[in-house]
Amino acid sequence: MTAMCGIVGYVGDKSALEVVIEGLRRLEYRGYDSAGVALISSNGGSGTELATERRAGKLANLIGAIEERPLPAATTGMGHTRWATHGAPTDRNAHPHTDCTGRVAVIHNGIIENFAALRAELTAAGHPLSSDTDTEVVAHLLEAAYQDSDGDLAEALRRVCRRLEGAFTLVVVHADAPGVVVGARRNSPLVVGRGIGENFLASDVAAFIAHTRQAIELGQDQVVEIRADQISITNFDGTRAAVNEYHVDWDVSAAEKGGYDYFMLKEIAEQPRAVADTLLGRIGADGRLQLDEMRLSPDELREIDKIIVIACGTSFHAALIAKYAIEHWTRIPCEAELASEFRYRDPVLSRRTLVIVISQSGETMDTLMALRHAREQGSLVLAISNTNGSTIPRESDAVLYTHAGPEVAVASTKAFLTQLVAVYLVALYLGQLRGTNYGDELDDVILQLAAMPEKVEKVLETMEPVRELARSLAGERCVLFLGRHVGYPVALEGALKLKELAYMHAEGFAAGELKHGPIALIEQDLPVVVVVPSRQGRDVLHDKIVSNIQEIRARGAKTIVIAEEGDDAVVPYADMLIRIPPTPTLLQPLVATVPLQVFACELATAKGHEVDQPRNLAKSVTVE
Ligand code: AGP
Q: Give the domain ranges of the chain.
A: 6-255, 263-450, 464-606
The pTM is what? 0.79
Q: Answer whether 169 contacts ligand 1 (Cβ < 6 A).
A: no
Give 623 Cα–ligand 1 centroid separation in angstroms.
Answer: 13
Locate the ligand 1 atom nearest the alpha carbon of residue 411 and give its number: 2
Residue 508: pLDDT band by 50, 70, 90 thresholds?
A: very high
Considering the candidates 5, 161, 334, 601, report the single residue annotated as catalytic.
5
Which CATH class for the 464-606 domain? Answer: alpha beta
Please answer whether residues 66 and 39 qualify as being in contact, where contact means their C-beta atoms are separated by less than 8 angstroms.
Answer: no
Q: Whose CA is nearest to atom 9 of ligand 1?
A: 313
Would you state the pLDDT for residue 548?
A: 93
User: Is 263-450's fold the same as 464-606's?
Assistant: yes
Locate the ligand 1 atom nearest the alpha carbon of residue 387 and give its number: 15
Chain-wide mean pLDDT for the chain? 92
Q: Which amino acid is at 401?
A: Y
Spatial separation of the C-alpha atoms in residues 320 and 169, rounded to whole Å: 32
Give 134 Cα–ligand 1 centroid separation in angstroms.
Answer: 26
Per the annotation, the verdict on 619 as an active-site residue is yes
Averaged over 85-113, what is the pLDDT?
88
Q: Answer whether 364 contacts ligand 1 (Cβ < 6 A).
A: yes
Q: Answer whether 315 contacts ligand 1 (Cβ < 6 A).
A: yes
Computed over its alpha carbons, how large is the radius of gyration of the chain?
Answer: 26
Q: Whose CA is nearest to atom 4 of ligand 1?
A: 411
Q: Answer whether 411 contacts ligand 1 (Cβ < 6 A).
A: yes
**372 has pLDDT over 50:** yes
Which CATH class for the 6-255 domain? Answer: alpha beta
Q: Answer whether 390 contacts ligand 1 (Cβ < 6 A).
A: no
Residue 536: pLDDT band by 50, 70, 90 thresholds?
A: confident
Locate the ligand 1 atom nearest the alpha carbon of residue 314 and give its number: 8
Please answer whether residues 181 and 223 qualify as being in contact, where contact means their C-beta atoms are separated by less than 8 angstroms.
Answer: no
For the ranges 223-227, 262-266, 416-420, the lowest mean pLDDT is seen at 262-266
Q: Select from 4, 83, 361, 365 the residue to mutate for testing ligand 1; criterion: most ligand atoms less than 8 Å from CB.
A: 361
Spatial separation of the C-alpha atoms in residues 254 and 256, rounded to whole Å: 6
Q: Answer whether 264 contacts ligand 1 (Cβ < 6 A).
A: no
Would you state the pLDDT for residue 435?
A: 83
Is 517 exposed, middle or buried, given 0-12, 13-18 or 19+ CB atoms closer than 10 A?
Answer: exposed
Per the annotation, the verdict on 323 as an active-site residue is no
What HEC string does 254-298 produce?
A: HHCCCCCCCHHHHHHHCHHHHHHHHHCCCECCCCCECCHHHCCCH
Fold entry, domain 263-450: Rossmann fold (3.40.50)
Residues 204-257: pLDDT tens digits?
Answer: 898 999 999 999 989 899 999 999 999 999 999 999 998 889 998 777 777 777
Q: Answer whether 314 contacts ligand 1 (Cβ < 6 A).
A: yes
